[in-house]
Amino acid sequence: MGKNGGSYGMTERLTERESISTRCKAVMQNISRVIVGKTSSLELLLTALLAEGHLLLDDVPGVGKTLLARSLAKSMGGTFKRIQFTPDLLPADVTGFNIYDRQSGQFKFQPGPVMANVLLADEINRAIPRTQSSLLESMEEGQVTVDGVTLTLPRPFMVIATQNPVELEGTFPLPEAQLDRFLLCLKMGYPSAVDEVTILDRFQQDDPLANLEVVITPSQVFTLQQARREILVAAPVKDYIVNLVRATRESASLRFGASPRASLHLMRAAQALAALRGRTYVLPDDVKWLAEPVLCHRLIVDTKEMVRGVTAEKVLAEIISRVAIPASPDLE
């Protein structure tokens, strides 16, 4: 079928499929030497990376959020920077600033931590809104503007932000405009009892992160990101994505549904997941599996419904259950 036709079928290019899937699985296996028993979390992490998106980790302290970001950066041999967000942090502390050099008699740009391949924005909801918003241009356009001068960020560039949903005192909730910039919102959760024993054994005498190998380079990641764009999204799958997103806007339980950016992010994430799983085409099941991590953090539940215990997850689950899934033809 043609690329814009009504079928999912296409001729697979085996070498490209193996290149994307094999390389990403090597990264996942490498990170698994540090992060124990979180296969789904690692798959979503690599999905965000391939889709050129950013990740929000919304979970309690001590479940490995920082370790996950550091492990990814080390596995890809890229530059890693960490910002501890606090109420007194200023935008210049994120983007960088110009400083006067007495020897040259000119101003010299001092790069901020945003100039990295992987940026960990730790406890991002503890910074004032002005500082939080300093990341918007970087996340959306891959650049920063300081004193009227625009600078391009390294490629690839990925923000992994964390926030603690328990301690709300002294925090500034992320506004909807910034939440919408995150491709995925991930909750890692506590490990199982077996996995927790494995963690104790693995970290008893040494830190696995210190010995983690580089299994992919930033330039190879960038190549894989470009290859991801070629993953086929057939017309029925695009219709399914749009129908899901539009249904959130029509829900009486929500004050605000997902934006058109959410549709785009869901498509890109589905392309990345398909590539990660060794396919050159997106299936409706890819979209369905990704709907919650891509859409839930963008949904604003109506106040009256919130009092009744209704959550964004419940509303989205109901929407997914009633939106028709397009039938998948034989792909052989």
pLDDT in tens, 145-154: 888 888 889 9
Say yes or no to pLDDT of 16 above 50: no
Query: In the structure encoding, which two tokens stand for residue 145, read together?
Result: 């503007």
Cβ atoms within 10 A of the Cβ of 246, count?
15
What three-state secondary structure class fits 304?
A: helix
Segment 167-186 mean pLDDT: 81
Angle in degrees, 0-180, between the axes of helices 39-50 and 14-31, rounded to the nearest 10: 130
User: What is this structure's pTM?
Assistant: 0.87
- Name every residue whose Cβ is closer than 8 Å to that of residue 15 and which is 6 or more positions away in sequence: none
Q: What is the mean pLDDT of the chain?
A: 87
For the domain covering 14-322, report its CATH number.
3.40.50.300
Say yes or no to pLDDT of 221 above 90: yes
Strands (DSSP E) found in 53-135: 55-58, 80-84, 96-101, 106-111, 118-122
Cβ atoms within 10 A of the Cβ of 37, count?
15
Segment 268-274 mean pLDDT: 97
Say yes or no to pLDDT of 254 above 90: yes
Q: What is the structure's pLDDT at 6? A: 41
Segment 174-191 mean pLDDT: 89
The Cα–Cα gap between 108 and 99 comes to 5
Segment 291-316 mean pLDDT: 93
Segment 266-290 mean pLDDT: 95
The Cα–Cα gap between 94 and 259 comes to 27
